[in-house]
Structure 1
Amino acid sequence: MPTARLDSLPNRRAIIDRRRLADQLAELPDEAAALKREATVLLKQALEAGRAEIGGRLAEHPARGHEIAASYAFLTDQILRLVFDLATERLIPRTNRTAGERLTLMAVGGYGRAEMALYSDVDIAFLTPWKQTAWAERVIETILYMLWDLGLKVGHSSRSVDEMVRMAKSDLTIRTALLEGRFIWGDEALYDDAARRFEIDVRHGTERAFVTEKLAERDERHRRMGDSRYVVEPNVKEGKGGLRDLHTLFWIGKYVLNVRSVPELVDAGLLTTGELKQFQRAENFLWAVRCHMHVIANRAEDRLTFDLQRDVAARMRYNERPGRSPVERFMQHYFLTAKMVGSLTGVFLAHLDETFAQKGRRFGMPSLGVRRKPRNLDGFVIDRGRLSTPEDGFFAEDPVRLIEIFTLADRHGMEIHPQTMRQASRDAKLVDGVRSDPRANALFLEVLTSPRTPGMVLRWMNEAGVFGRFMPDFGRVVAQMQFDMYHHFTVDEHTIHAIDLLSRIEHGDLATDHPLVHKLMGQIVMRRALYVAVLLHDIAKGRGGDHSELGAEVAHKICPRLGLTPAETEMVAWLVRYHLLMSHTAFKRDLADFKTILDFAEVVQSPERLRLLLSLTVVDIRAVGPGVWNGWKRQLLGDLYHAAEEVLRRGHKQKGRMERIEEKQENLAVGLGWDAERFSAYARRMPDSYWVGEGSDTLLANARAIADADAAGKSLLISTSPDEDREATLVTVYAADHPGLFYRIAGAIHVAGGNIIDARIHTTRDGMGIDNFLVQDPFGRPFDDPDRLTRLRIAIEDALANRNRLADRLAAKPAPRTRADAFDIEPNVLIDNKASNRFTVIEVNARDRPALLHALAHALFQSKVTIHSSHVATYGERAVDTFYLTDLTGDKLTAAQRLKALERRLLAAAAGEQLEEAA
């Protein structure tokens, strides 16, 4: 019982000595205002001293979650009792109380369970026998005001016993809160009466409905929280595998069997002794984490954000290991605990079925039995519609069955019984002996490359621990987080999610999102190699070194074991080695520079590799997490694929530069419908780099906008048009070219709330600048709100007219990305004179922050170079900005001293050092 946990706390009087405090309160004057004022001061001091004592205990024993959670509840109990006595005996005294003037104070919810963190809500209920009297109303009001004055966040209700019963019947939340009800102070006989009424009038006969509703509520909560226990910023309380999942199990047991504490679930047959230890270990760990979070954040905080993770890991004394930081070790422990909670949930519900359900059915849920029993289950059996084993030693007789059960589940579209999953987890080590067994490897490969639902079944295999034992290299990344703001899942969950996405694209479920990859899947020859490459692409993360190169070595070892041919093995190893090549080329390089395409095609070498690499790249990016994939990335990868495919299909001697320019000009002339003389005059104004660098849709939009500006005699044109394919807005600025044009426009776009994802800078032969920017809002959506577009035009006009200091306006904008402060990113500048025949390519890696592009462009302006294009890629907290540059005469930058000075300026700008803005 909760009271037993409170009674067992060590040295309780060091937390708060209620008797001594009561004596001090008794000495205070009787005058109500003074009594209330001075009592509040005393109680607040006691509350702060108690919290400090508990905080010290948490620092000294950082893993004692149960004890600390109970300590906060104990402290709160004593404060409430003192306030209750003060209100009923001295502030609102009543000598001759009637039968109706009885009052009970009870704790409900988590507080009723005697579990609290530093800033947990104090959930209480006031009970009266009948309709509330004036005296009870005044007492309740007095108590609440005193609690608020103490700074407590109170959730409260005041009801008669009849009202309590009526509302509990109709509202699941109220019923659950009252299920955890605990007597605090007041009329104990009234509390006992209410408890009896709850048992007889509310709980009795509604057990099945409660289980069904509670499980549905849990599923909805999981969906709301991301429906994965492996999100890298998990919610410790509400997330999948968190405290609320454990609470749900206890609520079900308490409601169905009226157990009073978690250990009684063993006697009830809903947990084994071993499962109870796992339950308590998980709960203790999660409570310790939650208590540390509240202390660090200095407020109620249940989301384990990046900035908290590092501090919690330090407070809980996780140490560094080779290749693993303390925070990564802590988070792996967290995810393994969340996984344990998921396993406990499954076996708990299976015990519930065994104990209460009719034969062949599921308790509290509709029957999920298969309509037609599959033939040839190789000795496995069906239990309540789920795949099971006929006896406890079934896996030990033939450990290959540990793989076979998942293959059968996939073939027949069946769930695996939770007890069998637990049995598989227990016996998972037996699979060590069959890793080289051709039958086991063939069965595993069948699941991995299944045309049905490989992702779901591999996730089950991972949950059981069989996956990591059968493939130890994969076992090394199970529950391994990637401590950055880019990846949303652990490495193993990311990998399985990518396999699932590939399968769904192949099936056509995501054909609308990925039409090119869906089409190419039908042309791929080495399908098995693709699925294995997706499995292995991140297998070497966390080993210290280039995970692509190390992963290729792993592929050479694993693929033959799985039964792949030498050609397939070589293909898998190549794909793993170069799985980042396509995204890096598409997002960090200028695809209009033909050397970019040639260099990429030279590495890829074959159309089959290109098809496979595009498929792997797409699912790798999309599996990172929600919001990472967008139309801009789809467009860039598609452009790179088509350009490289043409080179590989026709050979390197395809259309020359002038041929491509002439083709674009011919297409534009048709689109504009101008006469030959007018178009020829316009075409002569534009440099060759403009025709090569821009796509047909941008060329058409530019030509129309420039024609309108010239006809109106405007020296400045700012036009915006939506680009639906790229999920962005094209912002074109046509103005007299002058030094600093680019950095001023970039700063103005940020002032207006825009985020530049790509930019191309051109100068006409008659001295006008044409700068094309692709702009999104801060959430990666098109920047298309009319008010924002108006602000953008005004901001650009002001910046170019130098009406106000752009630096001041940028400094005045608040920095919204405080989460990035949790990461240490050392700025880095890479200078490459080989990536392009015409330009010096400079790549800057830095912590992402507002107006970073403006700061870097300003540094380049100060370095007296010409920017021809800029490409922006962001990976969570990390930004990679790439610039294609020449000197003012149009040549590459080659002088070592000048390049060194340019590097210093860019490093200073990337680090956020203030630079003087030119007039």
Structure 2
Amino acid sequence: MLSARAAAPAPAPAIRNKRAIISRRKLSGDLEELLATHGTGEGLRPALIAALRGTLAAGRAEIRARFDAEGSGESCVRETCYLADRLVGTLADFTVQHIFPSANPTAGEIFDIVATGGYGRGELAPCSDIDLLFLLPYKRTPRVEQVVEYMLYILWDLGLKVGHAVRSVDECIRQSKADVTIRTAVLESRYLWGPGKLFGELRRRFDKEVVAGSGPEFVEAKLAERDNRHLKMGDSRYVLEPNLKDGKGGLRDLQTLFWIAKYLYRVEGVDELVGKKVLTPEEAQRFAKAQNFLWTARCHLHYLTGRLEDRLTFDVQSEIGARMGYTEHAGTKGVERFMKHYFLVAKDVGDLTRIFCAALEAESKRPPKFNILRLAALARRKDVDGFIVDGERLNARDERQFKDNPIDMIRLFHTAQQHDIDIHPAALRAITRSLSAIGPKLRADPEANRLFLDMLTGRKDPEITLRRMNEAGVLARFIPDFGRVVAQMQYDMYHVFTVDEHTLFALGILHKIEAGELKDELPLCSDVIHKVVSRRALYVALLLHDIAKGRGGDHSVLGARVAEKLCPRLGLTAEETETVAWLVRWHLAMSFTAFKRDLEDEKTVRDFVSLVQSPERLRLLLVLTVADIRAVGPQRWNNWKATLLRELYNRSEELMSGGMSGEGRVRRIQAAQAALRAELTDFDDAAFDAHLTLGYPAYWLAFDAETLAHHARLVRDAEREQRPLTVDTRIDRGRAVTEVTIYATDHHGLFSRLAGALAACGADIVDARIFTMTNGMALDVFSVQDAAGGGAFESGDKLAKLSVMIERVLSGHLKPLQELATRRTTASSRTRVFHVPPRVLIDNNASTTHTVIEVNGRDRPGLLYDLTRALSNLTLQISSAKISTFGEKAIDVFYVKDVFGLKVTHEAKLAKIKERLLHALADPAGDVPPPAAVKRTRRRPETAEG
């Protein structure tokens, strides 16, 4: 049998000083010496493994040193592949010649070894699998089986992950016809070892019997495979923890492009596609740059984790960004700069795969000349607003159309939107080549701006059109301020998408609200939006609401300035411009007020109304706020947020119309009590009147009639049985929470102990409403979720444990701190990579009766317990609390009074509150609160929403 040394093609010349990685001659000599020392006896195998392991380790160390010094992923994967090639080839030689020698092997005993998969492409990441095909002439023989088994066990003992197949040429051809995955493996297979005759036969037969005439089928299968993979990975390239290999915009998308091109054009490298006129030199360069970036990040990921890993998780993003040279710049974190570059590369990959896969698909399906169907298609071509319809897709008249008439790049998308027609890949490619023509002249063109505004504010869904414009690069060039937030990420666990992706999603949601598609989920918004007068201003404001993120300042203030300059250019009136700028400036005000302030406090609503001033702005702000929150990411919107926003809207509207006076509040309380009376048919008048004496005014307005009735029965039963403690749980699937109602004797620190008990049994508190009744009992209602997996506590054992834990903590038989210590050590470490600066803001202007304390910090098990314990130890009374969590960030607001029932105004006391809360915010695992001065100013509306 010929050795691979004689038959193998020359290694890639780009690998320099190959012998420093592995010297095949030296390794072969070492193995010969082992043979001379041990013979073929039992001592040979461990010595052989030790020698190969040493060679492998030395080669890997050399490759790692080069990678650390130069940072080229492309070089790393080729050098790792070269090391594997030489190792496998040397082992094959040794096995065939010395372990199972045959002086005159039969035809059935001669085989080739072929590399497949990524290894077949000559790309092997540090911890990736090695895929081998043992190619036989026909059926297996005993000697071949012995050789294959011996080699595989040696490779596995070296710690290599080896996938393998043993097939004849006939089997490869037959299975390639039936299975597109095997067909792809054969397509990118690479000769590795052996005489090479079988591999040559396989390639010839594969081209003739499988590839010939099957181009359209293969293209369709690979594109469908790509789409299915995208769906499994979330169907967005802008996710928090992207998959470098299989995610949208990852390496697999580039490979799909190459597979299709190789299948149709029979090329061996991307550069050859330039000669085939499939790619331009610039596009081939984009392909190479994107591939090298992704390979570099993936190699860093493998080296950092020490395993086969493709997800850029939170805990590695910062380190990999630092290793790739991304440092903090202009107020932007290094990790954010790295991830922005990643998203831009992913977008670039998306551009290439979308445009060129579609172009190749069209090419592969093109009928031959003079085909009757082709002539019919030509006859059906027609002009539409200066463009032609080609294969049911809108195309440019010629390649120079966009360079000669840049406005046609805007008009193309407008026409496609108006006629509900897709855009031809050739037109998208022509746009890519003409983007430089979009400059100040086009941006100032009134007609171009009219077309854009019509696309944004017309009756057709703007999300689809603007997404196409964004993918093509037109949107960023036409509105440079938007270009600055393309691929702009925020390094946290709350915001799921990049700023541009979030904005486009929000516009799509706004369109659905207006079209009535979300009427069941958002009844108030779906009604209110049709009362809006400034409809164009609403759409433009939503487009611009986050446009100034990443500039190092308050994005609401900076965004308003962008709006003041951009809106007149787009053709908005002075009144519309003022409205847009106001909405951008205050787009967080409604969520801030609803989620962080006590809506039962009349001053809260009055302050909000004094900011909004008009019913029109109230309507605009409501719709914008809802669309913004829903577009943040999955599960960021829930019924509880909807309830708070609806309550704020209704109370603000009532105040604007002259309501919400003292008499108005009395009427609302009377209405709530009347609705409660209708629910409590099992109460006689005396019992009902007695129950009404228990609640202070705020209580009757805090819940719906059904919940108030549930409380009434709970209180009646507890009083009748003289129970000192009642714990009731109800599952609210609409809000995905378990509602825990506790009726107990009120005492100082009760809220803190309850928070500790809930945290100790694995409950995350997402909302808390605290009421002291006139009989000295406390009625506290907590909305909790399961900390382990989110969602409500539903299983009977968990609910039982929750009740027992509360009883044991309140009776003093259990200390929450002891239980929480265990939870904190086992809690997920993913949030630990995020730094959330601890902050305490004290506001004595937000309420007429209470001091409002807002606390920001990194969330952890038992944080609310630590905070409320600190407040209780300061002898403060907690009247109500607003509990919010945005990913890794906790934002909790407490309405407190001092021991005399008054606001806290003494400077020393305020400083003490600040100090104690900062200490409570410090994570026991290592966070140290920085020194900070007490802030007591009225804080601008700001929240993690949007």
Question: In the alignment, is the contact (CA less than 8 A) between 1:368 and 1:385 conserved in 2?
Answer: no
* 2:50 paired residue number: 41
Residue 31 of structure 2 is aligned to residue 25 of structure 1: yes
Q: CA deviation at 1:87?
A: 3.2
Give, in angstroms, the shift of residue 371 of structure 1: 13
Partner amino acid, structure 2, of 1:832: D
Answer whether contact 2:219 2:361 (CA < 8 A) is retained: no
Q: 1:879 is paired with a residue of what secondary structure?
A: strand
Distance 1:86 1:789, change over 3 A: farther
| Partner SS state of residue 6, structure 1 | coil
Q: For 1:406, give the aligned amino acid.
A: F
Q: Secondary structure at the match of 1:100?
A: helix
Matched, 1:812 2:822: yes
The residue aligned with 1:686 is: 695
**Helix, strand or coil: the match of 1:844?**
strand
Q: Do residues 867 (structure 1) and 878 (structure 2) align? A: yes
Alpha carbons of structure 1 residues 740 and 470: separation in structure 2 relative to 1, 3 Å: same
Q: Distance in 2 between matches of 1:185 and 1:455?
A: 53
Unaligned runs of 5+ in 1: none
Give, in whole Å, the separation in 1 of the partners of 2:599 and 2:805: 30
1:784, distance to aligned residue in structure 2 (A): 2.5
Query: Hey, what does 1:645 align to over in structure 2?
Result: 653
Corresponding position of 1:517: 525
What CA distance in whole angstroms lies between the structure 1 residues aligned with 2:543 and 2:24? 60
Aligned to 2:938: none
* Cα pair distance change 1:850/1:303, threshold 3 Å: same
Residues 470-524 of structure 1 deviation map (CA, whole Å, 9 limit, x = unaligned): 2121121122222222112211111111111111221223333222212222111
- Partner of residue 798 from structure 1, selected from 788, 805, 808: 808
Q: TM-score, normalised by structure 2?
A: 0.92
CA distance in 1, matches of 2:662, 2:162: 74
**2:421 alignment counterpart:** 414
Distance 1:420 1:284, change over 3 A: same
Other-structure match for 1:12? 18
Contact 1:129 1:190 in 2 (8 A): yes
Choose the corresponding residue for 1:823, options 834, 853, 858. Answer: 834
Worse overlay, 243-252 or 904-913:
904-913
Quick one: structure 1 residues 605 and 264, their matched pair in 2 at CA, closer, same or farther if it must change by over 3 Å? same
Change in CA separation of 1:562 and 1:780 when aligned onto 2, cut-off 3 Å: farther
User: Partner of 1:119: helix, strand, or coil?
Assistant: coil
Say whether residues 1:750 and 2:759 are aligned partners. yes
Q: Does 1:265 align with 2:273?
A: yes
Per-residue deviation at 1:828?
0.4
Aligned residue runs from structure 1 range 212-223, under 5 A: 212-223=220-231
| Rounded Cα–Cα distance in structure 1 between residues aligned with 2:219 and 2:597 | 56
Amino acid at match of 1:797: E
CA-to-partner distance for each residue in 1:525-545, whole Å, 9 max, x for gaps? 111000000011011111111
With over 3 angstroms needed to count, the CA separation of the structure-2 counterparts of 1:84 and 1:271, relative to structure 1, is same
2: CA distance, partners of 1:178 / 1:905: 67
- Greater mean alpha carbon deviation, residues 610-619 or residues 659-668: 659-668
Aligned 8 A contact 1:820 1:877 in 2: yes
Deviation sequence 1:346-393 (CA, Å, 0-9, x none): 4423542564433699x9x99999999776x33222222222221233
Question: In the TM superposition, what are the counterparts of 1:489-888 in structure 2 within 5 Å?
Answer: 489-651=497-659, 653=661, 655-673=663-681, 674-778=683-787, 779-813=789-823, 814-888=825-899
* Counterpart residue identity of residue 35, structure 1: L
What letter is aligned with 2:689?
A: S
How far is 1:789 from its partner?
1.6
Aligned AA (2:430): Q
**Equivalent in the alignment of 1:405:** 412
C-alpha separation in 2, matches of 1:553 and 1:440: 22
Q: Among all aligned residue pairs of Structure 1 and Structure 2, give the percentage whose two residues are the same amino acid.
A: 48
Give the superposition deviation at 1:549.
Answer: 0.6
Q: How does 1:171-250 map to 2 (within 5 A)?
A: 171-250=179-258
Distance in 1 separating the partners of 2:267 and 2:646: 60
Residue of structure 2 equivalent to 1:906:
917
- Structure 1 residue 763 displacement after superposition: 2.6
Q: Secondary structure at the match of 1:743?
A: helix
The alpha-carbon deviation at position 95 of structure 1 amounts to 4.6
Q: Indicate how the Cα distance of structure 1 residues 807 and 250 shifts in structure 2: closer, same or farther if over 3 A, else same.
A: same
Kindly indicate whether the alpha-carbon contact (under 8 Å) linking 2:260 and 2:360 is maintained by their aligned counterparts in 1.
Answer: no
Residues 364-383 of structure 1: pairs in structure 2 closer than 5 A: 377-383=384-390
Pick from 328, 336, 341 the counterpart of residue 333 of structure 1: 341
- Does 2:297 match 1:286? no
State whether residues 381 and 388 of structure 2, in contact with CA within 8 Å, keep that contact through their aligned partners in structure 1: no
Distance 2:535 2:375 in 1: 37
Distance of aligned partners of 1:94 and 1:453 in 2 relative to their CA distance in 1, 3 Å threshold: same
1:545-587 deviations in Å (ceiling 9; x for gaps): 1110111111111111111111111111110000011111112
The alpha-carbon deviation at position 83 of structure 1 amounts to 2.8
- Residue 615 of structure 1 and its aligned partner are, at CA, apart by 1.0
- Name the counterpart of 2:112: 104
Equivalent pairs counted in the alignment come to 910
Contact 1:635–1:726 (CA under 8 A) maintained in structure 2: no
Aligned to 1:138: 146
Corresponding residue SS for 2:107: coil
How far 1:725 sits from its partner (Å)?
4.3
Partners of 1:913 and 1:902 in 2: how far apart? Answer: 19
Contact kept, 8 Å, 2:740 with 2:784, in 1: the verdict is yes
Deviation at 1:831, TM superposition (A): 0.9
Question: What does residue 150 of structure 1 align with?
Answer: 158
Conservation of the 8 A alpha-carbon contact between 1:753 and 1:788: no
Preserved CA contact (<8 Å) 1:30 1:90: no
Letter in 1 for 2:807: E
Unaligned segments of structure 2, at least 5 residues: 1-7, 927-946
C-alpha spacing 1:773/1:267, structure 2 compared with 1 (3 Å)? same
The amino acid that maps onto 2:627 is V
Distance 2:377 2:800 in 1: 60
Q: With the length of structure 1 as denominator, give the TM-score of the two structures.
A: 0.94
Return closer, same or farther for 1:602/1:143 CA change in 2, 3 Å cut-off: same
Q: 1:41 to 1:366 in 2, by over 3 A?
A: farther
Q: Secondary structure at the match of 2:730?
A: strand
Matched residue of 2:444: which SS?
coil
Over aligned residues, Cα RMSD in angstroms?
2.6
Q: Distance in 2 between matches of 1:489 and 1:606?
A: 33
Q: Deviation at 1:465?
A: 1.9
Aligned equivalents of 2:267, 2:436: Cα separation in 1: 35
| Deviation (angstroms), 1:91 | 3.7
Give matches, 1:312-391, under 5 Å: 312-349=320-357, 351-352=359-360, 355-358=363-366, 377-391=384-398
State the SS of the aligned residue for 1:755. strand
One-letter amino acid of the counterpart of residue 149, structure 2: E
Matched residues in 2 for 1:637 and 1:739: separation? 32
After superposition, what is the alpha-carbon deviation per residue over 1:158-188, rounded to whole angstroms, capped at 9, x for unaligned? 2233332232222222221222111222342
Q: Which amino acid aligns with 1:833?
A: N
Amino acid at match of 2:585: R
Mapped partners of 2:791, 2:302: distance in 1: 34
Alpha-carbon separation, structure 2, partners of 1:368 and 1:226 = 40
Which range moves more in the overlay, 190-199 or 883-892? 190-199
